[in-house]
């Protein structure tokens, strides 16, 4: 099992679309659809991101998500902790004290202090968290966009989101007209 799950990957990809946001904030459904991910999964992730103060939501038909603070101020670690919760990389079980060859005194000596294996894992966790904290959404976005995506890609994304928003608006207006027509027939 991965320490950092796919929810973090999806969250980061979604958040990258918000670094240079479209005119109307995209919905969680739009963010899910542009990646081929179930909408309910993205909605659950964004609930966690909102609770952590990474995104803010606006309601209504034109509602959606935007970053709650500048992308340079949101670290990858912020996203990992929001989606996964802050958890230890390693859960030491103190296996070293279970050897049947150790008597009580030797077992006590063998288990005093931090286990060498646990110490390595604690250091690895510290280094990993420091690296994730150093990487911001802004730097991640610059790296992703700089890796062979055509210059027109950002514009195409904005058009895609705008078309989705327009389709929802058209559906809403059409539904209002239909309801109005039904009332007039009564």
**Inter-CA distances, 119 with 28, 81, 96, 99, 122, Å:** 41, 22, 13, 20, 5
67, containing H or E segment = strand 64-67
**Inter-CA distances, 27 with 44, 68, 119, 165, Å:** 13, 15, 44, 9
100, part of any domain = no
- 24 burial (CB, 10 Å; 0-12 / 13-18 / 19+) is buried
Cα separation, 63 vs 13, whole angstroms: 20
Per-residue pLDDT of the chain (186 residues; tens, 9 = 90+): 457 889 999 999 999 999 987 788 898 999 999 989 899 999 999 999 999 999 999 876 667 899 999 999 999 999 999 999 988 777 777 776 666 767 777 776 666 777 888 889 889 999 999 999 999 999 998 877 666 677 777 788 888 888 888 888 887 776 656 556 555 655
**Counted domains in the chain:** 1
Tell me the CATH number at 77: 1.10.10.10
13, part of any domain = yes
119, part of any domain = no
Global pTM exceeds 0.75: yes
**CB 47 within 8 Å of CB 41:** no
Range of the structural domain that residue 47 is part of:
6-86+136-185
130, part of any domain = no
């Amino acid at each position: 099992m991965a320490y950092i799950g796919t929810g973090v990957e999806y969250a980061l990809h979604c958040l990258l679309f918000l670094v240079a946001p479209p005119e109307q904030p995209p919905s969680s459904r739009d963010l899910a659809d542009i990646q081929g991910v179930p909408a309910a999964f993205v909605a659950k992730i964004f609930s966690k991101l909102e609770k952590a103060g990474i995104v803010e939501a606006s309601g209504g038909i034109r509602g959606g998500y935007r970053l709650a603070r500048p992308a340079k101020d949101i670290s990858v670690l912020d996203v990992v902790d929001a989606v996964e919760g802050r958890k230890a990389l390693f859960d030491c079980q103190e296996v070293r004290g279970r050897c049947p060859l150790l008597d009580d005194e030797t077992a006590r000596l063998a288990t005093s202090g931090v286990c060498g294996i646990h110490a390595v894992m604690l250091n690895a966790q510290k280094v990993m968290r420091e690296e994730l904290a150093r990487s911001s959404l802004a730097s991640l976005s610059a790296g992703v966009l700089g890796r062979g995506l055509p210059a027109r890609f950002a514009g195409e994304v904005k058009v895609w989101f705008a078309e989705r928003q327009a389709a929802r608006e058209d559906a809403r207006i059409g539904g209002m007209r239909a309801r109005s027509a039904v009332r007039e027939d009564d």
